[in-house]
Amino acid sequence: MAGSLEAAVLIGVAGLATLFSMFVVRYRDMVYASASLALVGLASAAILGLLGFPLVAVFLVIVYVGAAVMFIIVSVSMLGGGGREEWDDWRGLAAAAAAFSTVILLGFVGGLWQLYTAPQPVRLDSIALILTRDLYPVIIVLAAGLAATILEGIAIARRR
């Protein structure tokens, strides 16, 4: 039963990742496209976490959310915030109802709340040892990528 529930959740999250990636391409407003990119990153991180790679999922969340915030800041600073926005109250209500029903369906009906375990205390020296011993090359590449993103954002913002 638990395996089929995990497979269903994995398929659902993969569908959300596909949907959000279509939003990235569809939206013409850079702020909405960047927010959709952050949601793609969160869904991808959820997939990796469900597959058993929680550390990679955490780094993916950090990078995608950081990159999306950077894209939003750069696009607002370059283009200004005075774009036309179209409001559709029913679409927002439908999205909120879908999100609420998904949480209720997975949490209570699907029994996902039973999988929760209380957080265990973690020693910081053991985390530091794992990061410096096993993941040193990954941290170097991650730091270089984040530094390049920040420098690129600064260079684009200064051109304005």
3-state secondary structure 125-152: HHHHHHHHHCCHHHHHHHHHHHHHHHHH
Q: Is residue 1 pLDDT above 60, yes or no? A: no
pTM of the entire predicted model? 0.51
Q: For 111-152, how does the pLDDT look when each residue is reduced to its tens digit (9 = 90+)?
A: 666 666 776 787 888 878 887 888 777 778 778 877 887 787
Using one digit for the tens of pLDDT, what is the confidence trace for 63-111? 877 777 777 777 667 766 555 556 666 776 677 777 777 777 766 666 6
Q: What is the pLDDT of residue 64?
A: 76
DSSP conformation letters of 78-141: HH-S-------HHHHHHHHHHHHHHHHIIIIIS-GGGG--PPPP--HHHHHHHHHHTSHHHHHH
Boundaries of every domain in the chain: 2-85+117-159, 87-116
Rounded to 10 degrees, what is the CA torsion of 21, 22, 27, 33?
A: 0
pLDDT value of residue 87: 60
Amino acid found at 73: I
